[in-house]
């Protein structure tokens, strides 16, 4: 069976995690997420992540290890996160309302999209280890 994957990036620089604030759909408007999107036919998940981050944040990246559990979404999609390095560029919000950088201490108070909340302990651990 072909499970459709949504990929998301955990980008940590100088002890802070990059989050992006969604505009849509209405239910997620204003909430913060690990940036990413759906894997398109013919793409590997890490290809898709590279493309999404180029499209959404204007950066070139390299996906590394997985972080956190795979989260089942509606419609047979699964959501998965990768620790990701910026290779070049300075991230800017081309599609999101804003981007922000958050420390481990700040993270629990951020209005994350519900799915990404599952990764909170893993993200805090990665931030504290960085
Ligand atoms: N999602 C999530 N957490 C993330 C990234 C995505 O919960 N860190 C969810 C939100 C959506 C689904 O995954 O329900 C697909 O994400 P996007 O809408 O961001 O994906 P695309 O940009 O590929 O979708 P489209 O091309 O349809 O706009």
The preferred substitution site among 29, 37, 49, 74 for testing ligand 1, maximizing ligand atoms within 8 Å of CB, is 37
Per residue in 86-127, pLDDT (tens digit) is 999 999 999 999 999 999 999 999 999 999 999 999 999 999
Task: Report the C-alpha gap between 97 and 30 in whole angstroms.
Answer: 8
User: What is the predicted ipTM?
Assistant: 0.95
C-alpha distances in Å from residue 30, one per residue of 50, 93, 97: 24, 13, 8
Q: Is 0.90 topped by the overall pTM?
A: yes
Mode of pairing for the β-strands spanning 4-10 and 36-38: antiparallel
Per residue in 31-49, pLDDT (tens digit) is 999 999 999 999 999 999 9
Minimum CA distance residue for ligand 1 atom 2? 115
Domains of the chain listed by start with CATH number: 4-129 (3.90.79.10)
Tokens (6 digits) for 76: 């047979």
């Amino acid at each position: 069976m072909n499970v459709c994957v949504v990929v998301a990036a955990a980008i940590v620089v100088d002890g802070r995690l990059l989050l992006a604030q969604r505009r849509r759909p209405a239910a997620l408007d204003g909430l913060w997420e690990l940036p990413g999107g759906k894997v398109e036919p013919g793409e590997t998940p890490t290809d898709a992540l590279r493309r999404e981050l180029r499209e959404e944040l204007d950066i070139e990246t390299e996906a590394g290890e997985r972080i956190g559990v795979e989260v089942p979404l509606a419609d047979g999609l699964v959501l998965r996160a990768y620790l990701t390095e910026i290779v070049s560029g300075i991230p800017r919000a081309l599609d999101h309302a804003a981007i922000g950088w958050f420390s481990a201490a700040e993270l629990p108070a951020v209005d994350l999209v519900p799915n990404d909340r599952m990764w909170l302990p893993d993200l805090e651990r990665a931030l504290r280890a960085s």
